[in-house]
Amino acid sequence: MRYLPKALLAAAIVSSAVQSTVALAQAAAPAAAPDHTVTGNVGLYSEYLFRGIAQTAGKPALQGGFDYAHSSGFYLGTWATNISWLGDFGAYTKSSLEWDFYGGYKGAFADDWTYDVGLLYYYYPGTANPGLIKADTFEGYVGIGWKFLSAKLSYNFDDYFGARPIGEETKGTWYLDLGATYPLGDSGASLVAHYGILDVKNDGTGSTESSYEDWKLGLAYTIPDGFMKGVEVGAYYSGNNAKEGFYTDLTGYNTAKDVVVAYVKKTF
């Protein structure tokens, strides 16, 4: 019996050591990725450009949205921004909102390769003026990425944002987006570049031609710590070879002119 206290003490020491080891192992082990993820984003831009064309006639845009992602790769999202182009071109009696809805599937294959397939619907509340078509647009897209490079092809299933340059349907319009986001070491900054090709179905020639190519080059920086941690600030220069006659609105503003855009945004 005189050995019992020593045995109990030894057992207690062993038990404590085992518990400490298990606790350290649990703390060191990475947390399992959640099956469901919801994120939000908000951004303020000096001007809203869509495929190189101004949507707010040189005025600022407030944008934001929410995204849901499942661990399997499926995702859904919505995003909205203020606009002015529908009223500026006389297409709508009044319209100041673009509201997008999208969903798809993302995955990875081989080393550093990713893919993305989905559908996107652009919704514009408001009433089209007599004789004009609603700007609501439905597209499908497929994208592929490798490290800092990406390529995405979008295909339109109906009239391209209500446009009929020569009076015929523009269903079948496509847009190719080639992009690069190259990190500059560990600085938190990245070089951003883009080149796009828009091929509008039945776009005509001369002043009715609406097809074009666009490009941009800029810098983006994500603040690493402090009160503004995670906030991205950036600026880029955007240009294109679109026909000024087709893209000049009723106020005389050329929505296709070259421009520098600055922005600040946050994902949370």
Q: Could you read off the pLDDT of 59-96 as tens digits, one per residue?
A: 999 999 999 999 999 999 999 999 999 999 999 998 99
DSSP helix/strand/coil, 88 = helix
Phi, psi dihedrals of residue 5, rounded to the nearest 5°: -60, -40
- Mean pLDDT, range 160-170, rounded to an integer: 94
Task: Please list the residues that pair with 22 across neighbouring strands.
Answer: none
Considering only CA atoms, give the Rg of the chain. 26
Residue 26 has a pLDDT of 55
Residue 14 has pLDDT above 80, yes or no: no
Neighbours of 148 (CB within 10 A): 15
Residue-wise pLDDT tens digits, 95-122: 999 999 999 999 999 889 999 999 999 9
β-pair partners for 14: none
What pLDDT score was predicted for residue 32?
Answer: 75
What pLDDT was estimated at residue 49?
Answer: 98
pLDDT in tens, 241-256: 999 999 999 999 999 9
Q: Give 208's pLDDT tier (boundaries 50, 70, 90).
A: confident
Distance in angstroms (rounded) separating the CA atoms of residues 83 and 65:
15
Residue 11: the pLDDT is 45
Taking the CB of residue 193, how many other CB atoms lie within 10 A of it? 16
Predicted structure pTM score: 0.88
**Quick one: tokens of 110?**
């081989």
The answer to which of 19-23, 110-114, 181-185, 201-205 has the lowest mean pLDDT is: 19-23
- Polymer length of the chain: 268
CB 220 within 8 A of CB 256: no
The mean pLDDT value of the chain amounts to 91
Q: Which of 121, 126, 117 is nearest to 97 (CA)?
A: 126
Q: Provide the CATH number for the domain formed by 35-267 in this structure.
A: 2.40.160.40
Residues 186, 154 contacting (CB under 8 angstroms):
no
Mean local confidence (pLDDT), 200-205 = 91
The answer to whether the beta carbons of residues 267 and 39 sit under 8 Å apart is yes
Q: Is the pLDDT of residue 234 over 90?
A: yes
